[in-house]
Structures are given as structure tokens and as C-alpha cells.
Chain A
């Protein structure tokens, strides 16, 4: 009986969560038509007054002379703008499992069960696969119960590329929609990339230095390449060759079609573009705040990048008597001009939230990039189609086109105006209203 009671607890919660999700869905007809709206298709020209029809979760038609089908639920779009749903290019949205999220543990004692190195002994080399959980798959980890999905939706996001974020090879990312009836329904594409971070561990564990980290990433990718060919050789002739030893770390690396490498400063960008050139797997750089003065390097390398929207700012908890170095001040002043520089150099780039706590701040920070010269159309593209292209899902996401997934953002006012208001979003053709705006924290206290 007690056993049943324990089991029943979470189930009741999940049912409640479903019920809550259902309530938030204002209504769920299968067909919507938003008419008389300004439609920013991204892939094509902007339509000042047009109609978009959504049926069974897909975009059925878009255009100026599209008729509203008889079975459609008409939505008046006069004075509203329709964008493709925004995509957060790198996040942990939907993942609530702490062991996949916490920053890489510095102490071996806090190592969780998902780490591969043998317990009780610190990693001594790449063979111990230190801080590697490349086999973790965001698609398996995302849960509709994550409260952050709701607040991201309220900020206009319908989609995110989400990753386990702990360790050096943290795991495989998935493109997810930010609402679904069941957790499995969130996943749009998986796996789309392997997330690599250059987080330093403890003194007593390999790798403890930058050179060690670099060599480890290189070695694991080399091992993965060898592993693949060894497996292929074995499959061709299973009788005469010993079977390759199964290695989940390498399986995890091979599963992902591309890897994400961190590059924030100019030096790191130069280092990583060099590194990318020697790897035989497509690379996406993320961070890139120094990109305003490294755009040429990135363009030459032909690597797409994800720009963190968490622009560097003075720490509120900093000592007021600490003087910031010119380097830091420059980065703070110019980081938000990076998107403009990248666009001018012809670099393909997307945006990601980069740990911004309040989703409302995400668009505010995009506005800063626009203020720094980024073309508005390019800004929208970086929040939608470019990110979809970077992760290979442009065939189904990122623009308002016939046949694509019906992820739409409907706003009152232009996306980059201070007074812009999210009216609702459609995710897989289902309408979600934003959360009522939370009053500022000071007033609540």
C-alpha cells in the first residue's frame, strides 16, 4: 500500500501538470486563420496585410489573397504582426535534471552517476573520459513540467535548442517546441549537436589545464573517428576481426551531426576556428562576444556562430572601488555590436539566451544589437531562420512558409520596439497566451 502511495504521488502531479497546460491553451481548434495582419515571413518578403492559415499543426497557406477556410477559427490580425516563433539557439529549457545542468563539478566527490570515469579515482587521462556524458540526449531529458517553458513562451519563444550542459562533452542537444501535451511531443529534431564546454575541473583530475582540455577534445574526436571506421570494418567481416569494444562516450559523439565549441574572446575565436579546421565534423561556435573585432576571422573560417545575448555587464556585486580594465570596458561597450559586424562580414549567426534570467530581457538585449547597427530583418532572422539553418531544421522551422511547423509569434507593435507586446504564440498550431506580466520585484516586497 505504501509502495502504491509513493508511486501515486508523482503521477498525480503529472496529471495536474497536464491539466494546467490544458487550461493555458486558450482553445484548441485544429484550424486557425490570422487575417489582416502584417506578416514577417523571414524567408520571403514582408507582407503588410495578409492571412496565414494553420491546420493540424502546420502552416497551410500564407499570402495576401489567401481566403479564410470555412472550418477555420478566424483570428483578427488588424494591427498585429506575425513572426515565425522565436528560437533560442542554445539553452537548457525543458531539462530539469540537476545532474545534467549543474556546472561541471570541481570536486570528484560530487560526481554524479552520469559521469563516466571510474568512481573513487580521479581521471588520469582521456581514456577515463573525464567529465563526459556525450550519450545524454536532451530529447530524453526534456519535461513539459519545466516552468521556464512558460516564461520563454511569454517572451515570444516557441522553440529552443536545448542541451545537457554539464561537463566537457555534456551531451546531445535537441530542437524542442516549448509546449506540448506530453514531454515527447516537445521534440522536433534530435540529436542536432554535441555540446562541448571548456570548463576546468579540479587540480587533481585530468584535464586540469587549457592545453589538457584541448587535447582531450581532440583525442575524443579522433577516437570517435577511429571507432566509427573500426565498427564499419567489423560489420563488413564479423568472422575474422575482433569486435570493437563498445564505448558509450564515442557513441554519443558519433550520434551528433555537429559540435558546439565555446569561443568568447578574440583569442578563443582564433583558437577555435583553427581547431574547427582540423576537425572533420561541422562546428558551431557559441558565445562570440568579441566577434565585433573577429568577424573577418570567423567569415574566413566559414563557421556559423551562436551569439550569446547575455551581454557582458558590470557585476552588481562588484566592489565599487575596483577599476575595470580597458579590455573589460571595451567588451562591455562593443559586444552588442558583434551581430552587426557578423552580418556585415557575411557570417551566419543565431542568438541564444545565454543564461538570461528573465525572458523579457532577451528581446531587450536584441534591441541593443539593433541599436548598435544590426538590421531589424537580420535580427529577426538570427532569432528564427538562421538558427534553424545552423541546426539543420530549416525545412520545418524558422519561417512562415507553407508546410512548415505552425510556430508563430503574434505581437502588437514591432518586435524591437520597447512597447511591443506578445499577444499569443502558436506552437504546433496550438494557441498559448503569455503569462500576465509579473510586477517588478521591488514592488512585490
Chain B
């Protein structure tokens, strides 16, 4: 009971709405884009950053939060998750990740998000304030949404409801799918696999062509024009207002994806591109950003260097390719900062690692005017920490989303406390 009262007290300012305006002072401000201020202050008004500086003159009566010994960072962004879409994969009722069928560009993950997912507070506790939620399944899986990791409903979480259309690029694979079948079968003959691959590519091109005709018919107000939600969803892509997030991991797939983008004249973002290092100059030349998956994975080929996944971000940086990190997970989204930290240990400059979870994703997803750094005019989506957010020992002390203090309690913490208190 006592604990509940405490919680209520903590939540009161939020409920009152007065929490959206405050001064955070005596704190080390890490703006990401405009350097660090060792002992600075940030004035938040109505959920937005109104002023950043060493000393601020403020109107009287503003609530002051003292951040002595603490650090202020922009909230971290995970550029690919299934947060809110997938609670426990093997429990069908809790998984809303993929739809049947190859072409479902009309599907919006935003409306499928479960704001009460237990994975969301866990991710928040490690400083992740915003995330891309990716649909899976088929070829055009649906629309990825960029959301804040707090809200009673998906409407409250919405940042960009059509951040990208997710294209899971067809894969040419001759290898048997599972370890078991690898022992019993020799896989698909190359000629068959290639035929199937080309068929899928052709189908994909046909779909884009169909969408293009649909658009012409619509623009021309052609008689007998028949509305179609699938093709309607393709219009922003064809017009270039919505980018296509292309998942392609192997070199051939990446190459073909680049060619496809060129041919269809669409704006793409490359995702999970494990072989991206081999095509880095091309990615740079074409100015294509890359979303890098977890560094904690095995090298794909037996003879790859053991650290190939760890050094990939540094290689991307060296080549001048813009990239952001993604966990491509729900329960492991919390490891996003450590993913960036690993890349630092293997050659990525620290500042770049921070950018890859803050301003880079904000730019890639087209929300750099609102998110990704501590600058005047941006949303006050911030974290207060007792140290470097990429360090595992660092505690996230506070999180603000659009200036609103967010509860950092979560299932892990509750379990921790429960078993700590065990007599």
C-alpha cells in the first residue's frame, strides 16, 4: 500500500500535465550534434526543448530538476524491433507479426502494437525511447512505424506511422533450411534455386509495375477506376515520400536490391546487410543508409574472421556509409546500447556509435527535426543517466518522452526485487 502511494506521488506531476515544462540543470549535457556541456542546463517547455546552455535565464516558478553528477542524452532509437507486435512467439495469440501472402504493403504495424507489452518497459529501462516496429512475412511485409516507447494507445506512441515499407528481398539459397535437413538432403540444385529466385524477382517487379499503372489510372481519373488498398499503399513509395526498408543480407541480394531500387527509382534503406562491407563504396556512392543488426552473432561463413560482425560498423563508418543500429528483436531490444558498444571495441569511434542510436536513425527515418539530439525545438525525448549509456553498469535514472517523465519500472526489475527479498 505504501509502495502504491509512493508510485502515485511520483506519477502525480505527470497526471497534472505540469511535468511537460521544467528545467534540468547542473547536468552534463551530451547534445550529440553540438558537443558536450560539462555543467549545463536544458529548459523543456510543453514537451519541447526550449533552450540548451551552460546558464539559462528562466521565468520564475519553473520546476527545477537537479542533475548533479548525472548525464543527459537524447533518448536512444532502435531502428528495427518487433516490440509490441510479438510478445511470445510460440504463443500465437500474442504474435501479430506477419500476415499470409507475399504482397501486403497496406498493413500498418502501428495499429497492431500492443502498448502494454512487457518488452517495452524493459527496453526503456536501458534508455531506448523510440523504436521502429517491423512487420515480417512475405515479400512486401507491410509498413514499419516509428513509435515512442510509451503511451496508453498506439495513437499516443505514433511518431511516423509509415516510416518505411518493409521489403524482404527474395533470397537465392541452395542450402537446406535446417541443420537436420542438411544431413539428409543436399539442398536445392543451383539452377532450380536461380529459376525460383528470378521468378520471385519478376513477381516483385510486376507488383511495382501494377502499382505504377494504378497510380496513372488514379491520377488520370480513369473511368472504371477500382480502388485497391494494396496498390493505394504503394503510392507514397512511388512518389518517394516513403522509403523502402530492404532486408537483404548476402552480397548478391544486396547487389540485386540496389539494382532493383535503381530500376524502380525508389528510395531505399538497407537492413540486416551482413555483407554490406563488400559493397560499401557503392552504398556510399548511392547514399544509401544501412541498418545494422546485432553484433553478437556468429560469422556467417566458416572461414570468416571471428570478429566480422563486430567490425562491420567500423567498416561502414570508414567507407562513409550512414548507418544505425537495430536489435531486430523484442526481448533483446534492451541490448541495443551494448551492440553499439561492441562496435566501439572493434574500431568504431565512440561518437559514431552514439550517433548510430540517436541522430543517425532520426535522420534515416526522417524525424531529425524532432528527435535524435538535444537541440532547441526538438522534442524533449531524453534520458538522464549516471554515466555512459553504452556501458552495461550505467543506470538510466530518468526518461522523458516529449517532456513527460516515464516510469522506468519493468518486469525484470520487479523480478529482481522479488527474488532479492526472498527470505
Contact = CB atoms under 8 A, between A and B. Distances in A.
A441 interface: no
Given A326-B302, A326-B303, A327-B302, A321 B252 contact: yes
Interface stretch (B140-148, B180-188, B264-272, B337-345): B180-188
B302 A325 contact: yes
B296 to A, nearest CB: 22
B257 to A, nearest CB: 15
A325 B303 contact: yes
A318 B175 CA distance: 9
A200 B191 contact: no
A318 B192 CA distance: 11
Contact of A323 (B172, B183, B184, B303): B303
Interface in B296-330: 301-303
A315 B251 CA distance: 21
Interface of A: 106, 200, 203, 315, 317-323, 325-327
Contacts of B174: 317-319, 322
Contacts of B252: 321
A241 B300 CA distance: 62
Main secondary structure of the interface of A (DSSP, over half): loop
A170 B255 CA distance: 48
Contacts, number: 33
B423 interface: no
B184 A106 contact: yes
23 contacts: A106-B184, A200-B180, A203-B180, A315-B186, A317-B186, A318-B190, A319-B172, A319-B173, A319-B174, A319-B190, A319-B193, A320-B190, A321-B251, A321-B252, A322-B174, A322-B175, A323-B301, A323-B303, A325-B301, A325-B302, A326-B302, A326-B303, A327-B302
Given A319-B172, A322-B174, A200 B190 contact: no
Contacts of A315: 186
A325 B300 CA distance: 11
Nearest to B183: A200
Nearest to B255: A321
Contacts of B193: 319
Interface string B174-206: 110000100110100111010000000000000
B302 to A, nearest CB: 4
A106 B184 CA distance: 8
Contacts of B173: 319
A211 B176 CA distance: 23
A326 B303 CA distance: 7
B183 to A, nearest CB: 5
A200 B178 CA distance: 14
A127 B372 CA distance: 66
Contacts of B302: 325-327
A317 B194 CA distance: 11
A315 B175 CA distance: 12
Nearest to A329: B303
Contacts of B183: 200
Interface centre among A106, A317, A319 (most CB of B within 10 A): A319
A212 to B, nearest CB: 14
Contacts of A321: 250-252
A15 B382 CA distance: 92
A238 B186 CA distance: 54
Q: For the complex of A and B, list the 3 residue pairs with the smallest distance between their C-beta atoms, beginning with the closest.
A: A325-B302, A317-B189, A319-B174
A321 B193 CA distance: 13
B301 A317 contact: no
B38 to A, nearest CB: 50
Contacts of A317: 174, 186, 189-191
A148 B184 CA distance: 26
B184 A200 contact: yes
Interface string B107-127: 000000000000000000000
Given A203-B180, A317-B190, A322-B174, 15 more contacts: A200-B180, A200-B184, A317-B174, A317-B186, A317-B191, A318-B174, A318-B190, A321-B250, A321-B251, A321-B252, A322-B175, A323-B301, A323-B303, A325-B303, A326-B302
A107 to B, nearest CB: 10
Contacts of A318: 174, 190
B125 to A, nearest CB: 39
